[in-house]
Amino acid sequence: MPVTWSKPSPFSISIPEARIQAVDAAVRAFDFADFDANILATHISENDFSLGLPPAIAKRLVKRLRTGYDWREYEKVMNDLGTHYIVKVDGIPGEPEPLSVHVIERRSKRDGAIPIVLNHGWPGSFFEFYKLAPLLTDPSNPNDQAFHCIIPSMPGYAFSSPPKARGWTGYKVAAAVDAVVQALGYEKYLAQGGDLGWATSSRLASEYPERCKGIHLNFIPPHYTPTELQKATMSADDIRGLEADADFERSGGAYFRMNKTVPYTVGLILASSPLAALFYIGEKLYRWPAPDSLLSIDEVLTSALLYIYTGSLTSSLWLYVAPTHSDHLHKKIQVPSAFSGGRVDLFWAPKSQVEEQHEKLVWWRILGEGGHFLALEKPEVLAREVREFARVSEVQRSL
């Protein structure tokens, strides 16, 4: 059955006031007393994540929700990011019914603007790109390349409907995203992504090279443990990425195993309390950026509330349930690609592994700044990297 799509229907974000009030009531009812009575007296640093989210940060988040945060302010920011649509996509393999996919289109007024799909990850959303997209569509330098930004919400995230069949993978996400891009009228495009957006962007390139003409990634995980002989030929940045991977597995990877093995349990816990969801997601949003480019407290709250208000906490986990290696490439990427990793990202694949999968790797580089959420932390840096990639002659010729 071929993948088909509907005409895009206009959409606007407007969370019902009753939903906002219900979350607000739950936040105001929470008392830290029982928690405070049971924490370790020595656990006092708000920069120490060795036991999870530091209590001082949790209390700061709750205080901001109670006394100053305004969802409607950020709702306007999100609505103003571009034109929002819902596209019905049918024919995704295994899915019993059409998916409703939310997408934002932000078009540039510049001649020669290049379409680019910006793919988010977990625990992110389209909101990750609220600072990056304007830099790409409306560059201050008239000589800089401009872009038309296409920002989808993955199925199961935010305002996109959840998949209903088990076995949801990056390949199926890419099929839905490619359909949405075509529904918007674009015949050729580039793609960019970090975190799980790496998988979506990579699948777009491997499965639809006639349309996806190049990808820029700011995250690529290693897909096997190299031998000592292989390590002997690796660069210092290669080794640093592998050591970070091993350290993350020991000290920060518990969430991955929980999301993968018991998603219903995780989903039930997070759906049972807005603050449970905020603390679970907020820990990652505070812990994973670089220390010198932390997200603002309102960015953390807005990112978490998108999951809470839309009830998408459980469905956002389905990509974790797929077989461990299902989203590593079974065929090579033959369009131009580039990797720009944050200086202190969680981990990254060594260059040799990336070269095995990417036949036209333009560059593999570790930047001098930034962490896991590069689009939020250092949007100007990521915009620079994307523009440089778009200037590559083979990319230019293909568009």
* List of the chain residues with pLDDT < 50: 324-325
* Residue 21: per-residue pLDDT: 97
What span, in angstroms and rounded, lies between the C-alpha atoms of 126 and 209? 24
Residue 274 near residue 26, CB atoms below 8 Å = yes
Residue 17 has a CB neighbour count (10 Å cut-off) of 10
Q: What CATH number labels 1-399?
A: 3.40.50.1820
Report CA-CA distances (Å) from 293 to 59, 169, 369, 370: 21, 31, 8, 7
Residue type at position 20 = I
Q: For 99, how many CA atoms within 13 A lie in the half-sphere containing its CB?
A: 34
The ranges assigned to domains in the chain are 1-399
* Residue 136: per-residue pLDDT: 99
Distance from chain centroid for Cα 239: 25
Phi then psi for residue 292, to 5 deg, are -95, 10
Catalytic residues: 195, 320, 372
> What is the H or E stretch that residue 239 is in?
helix 236-251
Taking alpha carbons only, the member of 318, 326, 320 closest to residue 156 is 318
Report CA-CA distances (Å) from 284 to 78, 123, 190, 203, 275: 22, 8, 28, 25, 14
* Residue 47: per-residue pLDDT: 83
Taking alpha carbons only, the member of 343, 236, 346, 218 closest to residue 292 is 343
- Classified as helix, coil or strand, 360 is coil
* Residue 227: per-residue pLDDT: 74
Residue 320 near residue 379, CB atoms below 8 Å = no
* Residue 44: per-residue pLDDT: 66
**In the 8-state DSSP scheme, what is residue 266?**
H
Residue type at position 87 = V
pTM attached to this predicted model: 0.96
Q: Which two tokens stand for residue 297?
A: 């407290």
